[in-house]
Chains A and B, each alone.
Chain A
């Protein structure tokens, strides 16, 4: 019943949000955002960290970008013509787009940026299907693929480690050394390491004429404020304090207690960005007890999703176990698994588990550790002997990405993939990457999906994929959770998205 209220509240605020543009926008003002960490690099091609995206997607733009519904739409391009065999993409580029250094964007810049990303980008595998990229006209770039890839536009527009378009001179520089010169609505002003990054409104920016308003990462990006500063504040308490004292206007991430406390306060607006990520439980199918499907099913049946998400993400979760978020055309709204202790014990008895001690790795983020703790308790209740191993992210991810490091369970967030779409969600389990053992059914489904352009056929394949994941307990999707953010109530027209977008908002 709590969920229903949340949904009603969300619906109400969305409706309200649609009314807002009628209010007068004020120009000017500076917004300071408290961010959880500093970006490891300012080069948009070099990193896929969330905090880097927060900043870089204000400075840079891409050929295609995701709209509010996560669908790929033209941004720096005006459109694309795909050849009947699906191997040639001809992009028409927008005219009169300027870089922050005054230069006009030309096809040469686009080609250079794409080539750079292909060679050494953080998620270069996204566009591994590209065969050649070439400038084929004064406002045209042609990409030839090696094989048909139905998800190519999706990959091209992935915000993960965005395939940002930068001047060819910058693209020629080594990875990590490119200057922050893009085509976006904000230009780079200064970076004080360990302190903040400051961006200013780029007055030479022309919002995309094909759109009337903002739309996801695309749309018409109209900037009303003068500048935005991202301050790095890793301590949650410091961020909360800073927003309450007015030092910052936006806290990128806060917890449910603070959100609850500030909800009634007229000086602040509490934003819940649900769903922001999914919580998943991964099994090491290459070694140890989890090689046995009966064991995995036993574990899956022993879990109580409401309790796990209720403890780890109170007031900010939704028990939705589809591998894409609600709102996507591929969302299956499949029934969630229910805790079944008797069935779990029965399945455990059938399995080859002999009571040996198992290892559950998790990185030291409090909600994640809490979720793991609850899961451990639930597994213990059916007789599984499992111990938590908490370490920092580099250690944990180092162990989990290999099969022979002695781990059996790993839980972490699965955030950007469900947003990007079915292919992205599936790709994590292809060639056994996530579960450490290849599943031929999934690999085959993924290959077919990539070659299939018909959406209905794709939907069927994705549903098959979800069934496979659940039946074989390849990994367990526990539920969605959201991000609590707090802003001053003076910040108008803000709408939560994958990053805190500072275009289309104004300060009263």
Chain B
């Protein structure tokens, strides 16, 4: 297993390198630079040139690219042009926020989704099944950012139960943290919940129809035991498959939810950097996100090996 991890980690490096290359490609093509963020609308071309020079943006692109890679090899992601701090510190401060939001949403999506899927599979064909699957399908079809806006309107403005946005760190005030993260988490989890529920249901149906389950039932084992110990455990493989993709969807969704709820996470950091052309932050942030995505995928593959020894780790 150790060898597997090392091999996968090594295999990630060329992918990360490609990610950084693609990012540079985009940055090279994208017009504009952060100099105009320093000055107001009546800036002259000369003033902009001067700011550009001060920021070091007048040097040739390949030189700047080479410098970035040099620094990367020393573990330094550079300094943000507009935030007045190192890229690493900006990311490290924002990352926990995004991760906590994503992980909470993941947790709830899996919890509720699997439960719903199991219930639907067990009550196959009956009202509960139809109802759950319709809800799941509905959840899949709702745009997350719109759901967030509507929820803000309903339960944060019209009936002020929850706050309309912003973020409170857990260690500052756990109760407020919970209040602030509730709506974003629910919004983010909603879509994925439907996904997981459908996945679980179809996987469960497949497993529950198999011989060994019938045998277990024939042996007189209690139904709940059969469903969970034999059914669910064996149905997990496709669900785990989906988990890796889910995290990608959650990370992408988190980016938008952070905008809607004004949460200071990675998503807003990167979008803000893209819109103001803060190159070092765009580079570092995207690299980090890619790293997380790859790590999660390695984790998912490891999970396969744990759940299903039949799966060979190539």
Contact = CB atoms under 8 A, between A and B. Distances in A.
B164 interface: yes
B57 to A, nearest CB: 11
A50 B54 CA distance: 20
Given A235-B262, A397-B43, A194 B164 contact: no
B221 to A, nearest CB: 54
A238 interface: yes
Contacts of B224: none
B83 A38 contact: yes
Contact of A241 (B31, B51, B89, B166): B166
A394 B272 CA distance: 12
B50 interface: yes
Interface stretch (A103-111, A323-331, A413-421, A449-457): A413-421
A290 to B, nearest CB: 19
A394 B277 CA distance: 7
Given A41-B38, A48-B38, A394-B277, A433 B44 contact: yes
Most chain A CB atoms below 10 A, which of B34, B39, B48: B39
Given A194-B90, A241-B166, A245-B163, A416 B36 contact: no
For chain B, which range describes its interface: under 10, 10 to 19, 20 to 34, or 35 or more residues? Answer: 35 or more
B31 A122 contact: no
A242 B163 CA distance: 9
Interface in A380-400: 391-399
A191 B84 CA distance: 10
A123 B39 CA distance: 9
A41 B39 contact: no
Given A41-B84, A394-B277, A414 B164 contact: no
A237 B22 CA distance: 34
B167 to A, nearest CB: 9
A393 B36 contact: yes
B36 A397 contact: yes
Give the interface SS of chain A, mostly helix, strand, loop or mixed. Answer: loop
A399 B30 CA distance: 12
Residue from the set A50, A393, A413 with the largest chain B CB neighbour count within 10 Å: A393
A158 B42 CA distance: 14
Nearest to B93: A194
A415 B42 CA distance: 9
A49 interface: yes
Interface string B60-81: 0000000000000000000011
Given A234-B272, A401-B48, A412 B83 contact: no
A114 interface: no
A434 B41 CA distance: 10
A396 B93 CA distance: 31
Most A CB contacts (10 A, CB to CB) among B40, B47, B259, B277 go to B40
Given A394-B34, A394-B277, A241 B165 contact: yes
A50 B38 CA distance: 9
A395 B40 contact: no
A122 B48 contact: no
Contacts of B80: 193
A296 interface: no
Given A38-B83, A176-B54, A238 B37 contact: no
A124 B40 CA distance: 14
Given A48-B43, A235-B165, A393-B37, A193 B83 contact: yes
A428 interface: yes
A156 to B, nearest CB: 18
B207 to A, nearest CB: 46
Contacts of B37: 40, 49, 393-394
Q: Closest 3 CB pairs between A and B? A: A394-B32, A235-B262, A238-B262
Interface of B: 30-48, 50-51, 54, 80-85, 89-90, 93-94, 152, 156, 163-166, 259, 262, 264, 272, 275-277
Interface of A: 38, 40-42, 46-50, 120, 122-125, 160-161, 175-176, 191, 193-194, 233-235, 237-238, 240-242, 245, 364, 391-399, 401-402, 412-417, 428, 433-434
6 contacts: A50-B40, A193-B80, A241-B156, A397-B36, A417-B42, A433-B44
Given A47-B39, A394-B35, 6 more contacts: A40-B81, A123-B47, A194-B85, A401-B44, A414-B41, A415-B41
